[in-house]
Structure 1
């Protein structure tokens, strides 16, 4: 709907905003595959497991902080295994917080975070995929063992 803003009353504008907010809430619950190769995938698709890229030979046991679920308090990152979805330079600031390990949902062996983790000797699992990332997001504590290429839940 294209309408000049100066002709809209406050109540009409408020109702349009409210409708768009409801539309947005609906789109947040819709999940699609990262690559759609056929029309049927709009209705049903399978999430495949990914093989993480383990960086380094370190092993770390610690509490998990998922930055997607956190309130942005970076003072609570020290000594923690941090989970982020991307592996891009925008998260370089993490390395200044003395984190114990890093797990990313996306990214490869040559991604920025993989290279930076290798440079400073930080144990990392880069590109674990959606399936594993979602299950690890529910965990409080885990062991990241890069030499044995395992991520183990700890009680």
Structure 2
């Protein structure tokens, strides 16, 4: 084996080692979201809205909406169907990396039925992370997207 092949083998080993594995969106959802939104994203009455349904078809049409909420949070009253929720969705920008947030957002999008959609990329999340935002601004953007 030549030195070049050895370096390539070492790089391949490094990239496939557990420390460099792609984040698991399902596990991240279970750890950070399921307590409020349930494992199937159906929500909890009076606490957290469903992450599926007609409203998400419209919200999901803007690819940046979900990762922005994951990064910046969301607060204030929102209406989903006939139910009003008043609370606060925490921002995960300080807790999760761009790759973790991309994996988490991609998992949520799959739960919403977007199985053929390209997964979110860490670079997309990084670009959104650098933009200003806040929980109330996320709620305002939500209202704009829903036309309410």
Q: With structure 1 as the length reference, what TM-score do the two structures score?
A: 0.27
Higher helix share: 2
Q: With structure 2 as the length reference, what TM-score do the two structures score?
A: 0.27
